[in-house]
Amino acid sequence: MKLELREITKKFGDFTANDAISITVESGTVHALLGENGAGKSTLMNVLFGLYDADGGQILLDDEPVVFSGPGEAMAAGIGMVHQHFMLVPPFTVAENVMLGHEQVTGPAKLLDVEAARAKVREISDRFNFHVDPDAVVEDLSVGAQQRVEIIKALSRDAKVLILDEPTAVLTPQETDELLEIVGQLRDSGTAVVLITHKLREVQAIADTITVIRRGKVVGTAEPTDSQEQLASLMVGRDVSMTVEKDEASPGDVVLEVSDLTVVDPATHITLLNGVSLEVKAGEILAVAGVQGNGQTELAEAILGVVETKSGSVSLQGEKLTGKTIRQVLDAGVGFVPEDRTEDGVVASFTVANNLILDLYDREPYSRAGAIKPSVVKEHAETQVEKFDVRTTSINALTGSLSGGNQQKVVLARELARDLKVLIASQPTRGLDVGSIEFVHKRIIEERDKGVAVIIVSSELDEVYALADRIAVMYHGEIVDIVSPDTDRDTMGLMMAGAHEEDAA
């Protein structure tokens, strides 16, 4: 099936997210969409999938114009989409998830034909070597296997065009390699694949055609053989360095010490952290690596005091933090960039300027005698917005109106404006374009070189290798090993799946 988007335009009020975008995707090819955060890639695919109505332009399938009023019509026409956050029902089996929304019945009693769904799962799984059991319960599957279930869902509905939105965001390196092999098999079977990703390595590995979108417009096409620097420059519109320049770390004394920390979910009684111990010295970066959901989030939140610990302790320069309020921990010199910026990082209904002083508003020079000083807040906001390239119409714009990446920049700008002893950053560059990533990495290195003890939690292995002086690998709530950044990717991937370094090497 040939897919063509002609002059697609989508506006949200006065903001043009897609400005007359035209692309063509041929059967049996992988077409990558590259672009910085907020460039309009996902909006374009949501228009294609019937989630948004276009304000202009045409969608053509095999040269015939089509209009989709919803995802159901798009799927019926042969378009499937695997979202970044999987649309699966965890307690259901694979077969039940695949048939959900397209249930078939059998017999006079019109019972659900689960066996037909099982057969369909087996047929697709065997064809592409997915190794997925139709009777497996989804919540018991690895993240990579769950993603294969999503692809099976799309293929079971005869998808001729498959959209993959940031498909490797939560995968181990081995699972990423497996997915790229699957994408290659889909291409070879005649499926047209649209790949939305910011990971240049993957684009180079699998794409046949690359379209680059910047600020809602197509700015050019690229070849998979182009260098990462060339691809990044086309995305951002300027030269970008893909390597993090940093001197060898010169660690000082231990600043943060975590000892035998255990966290238990009060609702489910599941152990989320199991006796975690580590230390971070002044002037070093400890990166916490692992597939998302293995305790990294709980570790960061337990240090800050967001979640209650069952046992163990956290100390800052010998002073116990465990039991203190979050405000007391922050005031002690801890900076915190939360994983979920929307829920935990910003107040969406506050202005950009006010979000930038959330932990500073009650002290000099921002306020006096309980009264906020607007001129100081304004000057501070303008400085931080410029320094962090926060793309906003005004410092008085509501933070909720910003793209996710720009909300992340607001959080980083706020936390790095304080004098810190420890910086804890969970997924610090999630949703950022390569130019912004370059800037954020430089700022994190600057904090390290100022003598700050830094903990980075990242599911991006490239980021872990680029920043880390030491790497703590987590699996099922425990630290598997703390290793050097010289550890190779294959060994690291095995450790992220639970193997110890000596077993993985």
Domain 3-236 has CATH 3.40.50.300: yes
Q: Mean pLDDT across the stretch 2-9?
A: 94
| pLDDT score of 54 | 94
Residue 3 has which token pair? 């897919």
Position 438 pLDDT exceeds 90:
no
What does the alpha-carbon distance between residue 461 and residue 284 come to, in Å, rounded to a whole number?
18
Q: For residue 128, what are the CA distances in angstroms to 122, 184, 328?
A: 10, 10, 54
| pLDDT score of 329 | 94
Residue 119 has which token pair? 């057969």
Residue 373 has which token pair? 């000083």
What does the alpha-carbon distance between residue 33 and residue 178 come to, in Å, rounded to a whole number?
21
Query: Could you identify the residue written with the tokens 């230390």?
Result: 279
Position 79 pLDDT exceeds 60:
yes
Query: Domain 254-333+419-504 has what CATH class?
Result: alpha beta
| pLDDT score of 136 | 93
Enumerate the β-bridge partners of residue 262: 311
| pLDDT score of 3 | 92
What does the alpha-carbon distance between residue 494 and residue 490 come to, in Å, rounded to a whole number?
6
Q: At what angle do helices 114-128 and 143-156 cross, to 10 degrees?
A: 110
Q: How far from each other are the two terminal CA atoms of the chain, in whole angstroms?
A: 45
SS3 482: strand
Pick from 43, 70, 73, 63: nearest CA to 55: 43
Amino acid letter, residue 451: G
What does the alpha-carbon distance between residue 252 and residue 453 come to, in Å, rounded to a whole number?
9
Report the percentage of the chain scoring pLDDT > 90: 50
The full set of domain ranges for the chain reads: 3-236, 254-333+419-504
Burial group, residue 350, by CB count within 10 angstroms (0-12, 13-18, 19+)? middle
Enumerate the β-bridge partners of residue 221: 211
Position 192 pLDDT exceeds 80:
yes
What does the alpha-carbon distance between residue 132 and residue 140 come to, in Å, rounded to a whole number?
12
What does the alpha-carbon distance between residue 82 and residue 162 come to, in Å, rounded to a whole number?
8
What does the alpha-carbon distance between residue 313 and residue 328 come to, in Å, rounded to a whole number?
16
Pick from 176, 148, 143: nearest CA to 490: 176
What does the alpha-carbon distance between residue 222 and residue 220 come to, in Å, rounded to a whole number?
7
Q: Mean pLDDT across the stretch 206-233?
A: 90
Position 334 pLDDT exceeds 80:
yes
Q: Mean pLDDT across the stretch 268-293?
A: 92
Q: For the segment 30-39, what is each residue's pLDDT rounded down to a tens digit?
A: 999 988 767 8
Q: Mean pLDDT across the stretch 311-319?
A: 94
Pick from 74, 84, 86, 79: nearest CA to 165: 84
What does the alpha-carbon distance between residue 152 and residue 265 come to, in Å, rounded to a whole number?
33
Summary mean pLDDT of the chain: 88
61 membership: H or E segment, kind and range = strand 56-61
Enumerate the β-bridge partners of residue 1: none
| pLDDT score of 172 | 66
Q: Mean pLDDT across the stretch 187-216?
A: 89
